[in-house]
């Protein structure tokens, strides 16, 4: 069944792959990639997952086997790399990231391209939008869990847990449990509650 699904996904992804190739020449690779990602995000069901798998396999820095790309989840940077058996929930946004094997992102997670994407120089009435953009890669380590609605702007270590709604602005150590805004290490009781919340967010 998986073989059939992957074959069907490739066939359905082919028009997007051709449009992406043409768009890259006209708009640039990054803009064409973001446009294609948004179009593909609206395809529902398992066939939508297979279609996104096929498209990203040919257009990104690397996609592992058995990656679940949830409905309405979009990617903005073609440099993104995703390992094996990664689960990406619904309504997620991912920038320049290296997501290692067995990572789980619950619904509504945002993985940004670093913490300082725009400068803060507003001297002499200079609009902030005129500041140069600075992006950096965010790595999410093997086996990490990211709870629903979390915002990740810094590296997350292997097997770490980020509570739902947390905002990660500093690197998270391997195996750490963090939560809050900004995210900080949790006490044992906090970690147990965060774990229960995280499990519930994946079950929803």
CATH of the domain at 90: 2.160.10.10
Do both 102 and 55 map to the same domain? no
- Of residues 48 and 191, more confidence is placed in 48
Q: Is the pLDDT of residue 109 over 80?
A: yes
Do 136 and 189 sit in the same domain of this protein?
yes
User: For 29-43, 121-135, 144-158, 160-174, which range has the lowest pLDDT when averaged over its residues?
Assistant: 121-135
Within the chain, strands assigned E span 62-63, 68-69, 74-75, 81-82, 87-88, 93-94, 97-99, 104-105, 110-111, 138-140, 145-146, 151-152, 161-162, 167-168, 177-179, 184-185
Supply the pLDDT for residue 119.
Answer: 60
40-50 pLDDT tens trace: 999 999 999 99
Count structural domains, the chain: 2
Both 50 and 133 in one domain: the answer is no
Task: Look at residue 6 in the predicted model and tell me its pLDDT.
Answer: 80
Structural domain boundaries enclosing 185: 64-203
Q: What does the pLDDT look like over 48-103, one tens digit per residue?
A: 999 999 999 999 999 999 999 999 999 999 999 999 999 999 999 999 999 999 99
Most confident of 27-31, 44-48, 153-157: 153-157
Would you say residue 32 has pLDDT above 80? yes
């Amino acid at each position: 069944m998986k073989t059939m699904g992957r074959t069907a996904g490739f066939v359905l992804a082919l028009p997007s792959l051709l449009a992406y190739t043409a768009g890259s020449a006209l708009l640039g690779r990054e803009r064409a990639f973001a446009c294609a990602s948004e179009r593909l995000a609206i395809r529902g069901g398992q066939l939508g997952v297979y279609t996104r798998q096929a498209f990203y396999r040919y257009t990104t820095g690397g996609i592992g086997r058995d990656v679940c790309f949830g409905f309405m989840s979009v990617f903005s940077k073609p440099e993104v790399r995703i390992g094996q058996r990664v689960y990406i929930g619904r309504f997620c946004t991912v920038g320049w990231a290296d997501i290692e094997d067995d990572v789980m992102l619950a619904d509504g997670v945002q993985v940004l391209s670093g913490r300082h994407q725009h400068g803060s120089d507003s001297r002499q009435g200079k609009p902030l939008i005129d500041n140069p953009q600075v992006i950096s890669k965010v790595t999410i380590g093997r086996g990490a869990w990211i709870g629903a609605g979390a915002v990740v702007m810094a590296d997350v270590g292997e097997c770490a847990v980020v509570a739902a709604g947390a905002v990660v602005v500093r690197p998270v150590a391997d195996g750490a449990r963090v939560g809050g805004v900004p995210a900080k290490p949790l006490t044992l009781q906090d970690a147990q509650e965060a774990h229960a919340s995280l499990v519930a967010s994946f079950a929803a």
